[in-house]
């Protein structure tokens, strides 16, 4: 099996768009600061622990996701591009505690090791629209198909994550 080229990976990316009732600078801050990320990032019901947070090109965000009934999983972002306050590009992977890329603890080894994710933020009338695009990097056909077959699950997962971001932004905006 061969890996897909960048052009092939762009043909069917996962895309989700969400508008928040918050200014872009506040949404940006929610991504750019570790204490904010720990409050809203990740699936509903899990606790995020931040082991490393270097919000800069070449930096890593290494974090744990803990559930009372499922234990702890680790993941990471490897930041590629940061253009404040409008664009963040990172490679998302499952990881070990040190931030080394690992296979996902589920999906029977079929999930891609690396997923290129681009987040853009645009503000209009005090509201911010977040646009997220994601696609596997160097995935073989089995990994690519596993990614494509999980769009509904990713829609629910990101939907829950962005619900938490919406709540966090409302609270942060009220406290500002």
* Digit-coded pLDDT (tens) for 56-65: 999 999 999 9
Task: Annotate the chain with three-state secondary structure.
Answer: CCCCCHHHHCCCCEEEEEEECCCHHHHHHHHHCHHHHHHHCCCCCCEEEEEEECCCCCCEEEEEEEECCCEEEEEEEEEEEEECCCEEEEEEEEECCCCCECCCCCHHHCCCCCEEEEEEEEEECCEEEEEEEEEECCCCHHHHHHHHCCHHHHHHHHHHHHHHHHHHHHHHHHHC
CATH entry 3.30.530.20 includes domain 6-175: yes
pLDDT in tens, 41-50: 999 889 999 9
Q: For residue 114, name the pLDDT band (cuts at 50, 70, 90).
A: very high
- Single pTM value for the model: 0.91
Given this model, what pLDDT does residue 10 score? Answer: 46
For the chain, domain boundaries: 6-175
């Amino acid at each position: 099996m061969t890996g897909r080229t960048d052009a092939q990976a762009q043909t069917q990316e996962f895309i989700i768009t969400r508008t928040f009732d918050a200014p872009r600078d506040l949404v940006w801050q929610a991504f750019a600061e570790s204490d904010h990320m720990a409050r809203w990032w990740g699936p509903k019901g899990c606790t995020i622990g931040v082991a490393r947070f270097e919000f800069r090109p070449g930096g890593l965000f290494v974090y744990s996701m803990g559930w009372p009934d499922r234990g702890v999983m680790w993941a990471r972002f490897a930041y590629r591009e940061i253009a404040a306050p409008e664009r963040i590009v990172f490679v998302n992977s499952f990881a070990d505690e040190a931030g080394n890329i690992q296979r996902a603890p589920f999906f029977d080894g079929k999930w891609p090791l690396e997923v290129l994710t681009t987040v853009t933020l645009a503000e209009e009338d005090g509201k911010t629209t977040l646009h997220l695009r994601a696609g596997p990097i160097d995935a073989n056909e089995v990994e690519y198909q596993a990614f494509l077959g999980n769009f509904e699950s990713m829609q629910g997962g990101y939907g829950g994550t962005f619900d938490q971001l919406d709540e966090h932004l409302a609270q942060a905006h009220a406290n500002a």
